[in-house]
Structure 1
Amino acid sequence: MTSALAHIQSLPSWLVGRVAARGRALVADALAAEGLKLAHHAVLAATDEYGPLAQADLGRRLAIDPKDLVGLLNHLQDAGLVLRVPDPADRRKNSVSLTPAGADTLARCGVLAQEANAEFLAPLTPQERRTLMALLGRMHGAARDGAAHDDAAGSDAP
């Protein structure tokens, strides 16, 4: 008979969670060389992709609580990586944009994250890496679609 702990540790959800934690830790350690955390990297990347944009829109795109986003942006602005200015169309809003130093930092973070992910995937062959990424992509899509369905159904759905 299998112990309860062994059963839990054999579940795909448990294994994926443990592996994901290791991957996040590797990337977090790499980004620390730039004095940044994972969330800072995401804010820089989103600002680069969508910016300049309203601070509230940035928070929504990244699903970051507004209070948490303020702290992240304060750190990034103090480091000279982003600029927040009042939106000319609505001075109650802040517009966030990437500075040239922020773009340089984002590029370095991209290299660091890529190197960390290469270390993370090192136990796998190139074919296994491609297979893993394809399967994770399918699971992520299904999870995203399921979350959208749950949101559309409302909180009273069974």
Structure 2
Amino acid sequence: MSEHTDPLPALQRIQALPSWVLGRVAARGRSMVARAIGSEGAKMWHHAVLAAVSEYGPLAQAELGRRIALDPKDLVGVLNDLQAEGYVVREPDPRDRRKNAVTVTSGGEAMLARCAAAAEQANDALLAPLSAAEREQLMALLRRIGVEEPE
């Protein structure tokens, strides 16, 4: 039998863990960004795919999926949505005609800019209780614990 001297009940101990708090904040942030991007008529994956194609495109579908870690069958659905809206085009890749290359259109670039602005506004709302210095400190701390792998 272990001796536990923590005065908090079991659930409150769990809810006091940094990993629990970080998860709750992350879920709240994702929800806020999803709503903001949704107001532009897009979903989170639409935004991520548009950003990747804008940055790296024209890009083969398989390479795009690897870069953003999205399952190929899910990527096809996102690309179908984006192409139907005129935000991307898929054409045979000039380097390998057996593959499709994805390119963002001017309409896609405009949608990307709207989604990016909406996501920034949502993040500003999430961090509104913090001062500018506290925001910088929080981001520095999160990068430090999020980037380094435990040994």
TM class by shorter chain equals over 0.9
- Displacement of 1:18 in angstroms is 0.1
Deviation digits for residues 10-31 of structure 1, max 9, x if unmatched? Answer: 0000000000001111100000
> Alignment partner for residue 34 of structure 2, among 28, 31, 44?
28
Taking the TM superposition and a 5 Å limit, the aligned residue runs for 1:28-67 are: 28-67=34-73
Q: Percent identity, aligned pairs only?
A: 59
Could you list the structure 1 runs, at least 4 aligned residues long, displaced by more than 6 angstroms after superposition: none
1:114 paired to 2:139: no
Taking the TM superposition and a 5 Å limit, the aligned residue runs for 1:3-152 are: 3-143=9-149
- Distance of 2:133 and 2:96 partners within structure 1: 51
Helix, strand or coil for the counterpart of 2:70?
Answer: coil
Structure 2: runs of 5+ lacking an equivalent: 1-6
What's the TM-score, normalizing by structure 1?
Answer: 0.88
- Distance of 1:51 and 1:89 partners within structure 2: 13
Q: Tell me how many residue pairs correspond in the alignment.
A: 145
Which shifted more, 5-14 or 87-96? Answer: 87-96
What's the TM-score, normalizing by structure 2?
Answer: 0.92
- Displacement of 1:91 in angstroms is 2.1
Deviation digits for residues 36-95 of structure 1, max 9, x if unmatched? Answer: 111110100000000001000000000000000000000000010011011123222110
**Greater helix proportion:** 1
Helix, strand or coil for the counterpart of 1:124?
Answer: coil
- Distance of 1:124 and 1:88 partners within structure 2: 49
- Distance of 1:119 and 1:3 partners within structure 2: 32
**Structure with the greater alpha carbon radius of gyration:** 2
- Distance of 1:77 and 1:11 partners within structure 2: 43
- Distance of 2:40 and 2:88 partners within structure 1: 15
- Distance of 2:94 and 2:54 partners within structure 1: 20
Structure 1: runs of 5+ lacking an equivalent: 150-158
- Distance of 2:143 and 2:46 partners within structure 1: 24
Q: CA RMSD in A?
A: 1.2
- Letter aligned with residue 68 of structure 1: D
Q: Which residue of 1 aligns with 2:8?
A: 2
- Displacement of 1:138 in angstroms is 1.2
